[in-house]
């Protein structure tokens, strides 16, 4: 059964704090990741993903994140077209995470 297409930052926080271990895939550019990033995330820029898709597990939930959720939604659609039915987009991206979950995280 495929995962939901989208999830809110509160959902991801709840999953992580209750012991869930989804792979958080950050598709932002290196300069953006240098400003802030979710803990324990895998960084593969959106443009590099087609060449590096083999690094992703097919047997694990994948939560795709970017700045606000636009690029990650595109990547989630692409991953699903490649057979990653457990890929989910993080609504609001790192910006929503910083504003609603981790007030110590930098925003940009």
pLDDT(86) > 90: yes
Is residue 65 a contact partner of residue 90, using CB atoms and an 8 Å limit?
yes
Burial of 34 per CB tally in 10 Å (0-12, 13-18, 19+): exposed
The whole-number average pLDDT for the span 83-107 is 97
- Summarised one tens digit per residue, pLDDT across range 66-83 is 999 999 999 999 999 999
Place of tokens 């999953």: 15
pLDDT(52) > 90: yes
Regarding beta strands 87-90 and 42-43, do their DSSP bridges make them parallel or antiparallel, or are they unpaired?
Answer: unpaired
pLDDT(1) > 70: no
- The domain covering 6-100 belongs, at the CATH homologous superfamily level, to Rhodanese-like domain (3.40.250.10)
The SS3 call for residue 87 is strand
For helices 9-17 and 93-100, angle between their N-to-C axes, nearest 10 degrees: 70
pLDDT(3) > 90: no
pLDDT grade for 24, boundaries at 50, 70 and 90: very high
Domain range list for the chain: 6-100
Marked catalytic residue, from 12, 66, 75, 98? 66
Active site residue 66: yes
**Residue 103 token pair:** 């007030």
């Amino acid at each position: 059964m495929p995962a939901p297409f989208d999830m809110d930052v509160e959902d991801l926080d709840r999953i992580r704090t209750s012991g869930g271990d989804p792979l958080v895939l950050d598709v932002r550019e290196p300069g953006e990741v240098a400003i802030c990033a979710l803990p324990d995330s895998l960084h593969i820029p959106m443009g590099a993903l087609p060449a590096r898709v083999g690094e992703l597990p097919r047997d694990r939930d994948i939560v795709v994140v970017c700045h606000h959720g636009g690029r990650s939604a595109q990547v989630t659609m692409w991953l699903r077209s490649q057979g990653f039915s457990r890929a989910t987009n993080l609504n609001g991206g790192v910006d929503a995470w910083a504003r609603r979950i981790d007030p110590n995280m930098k925003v940009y």
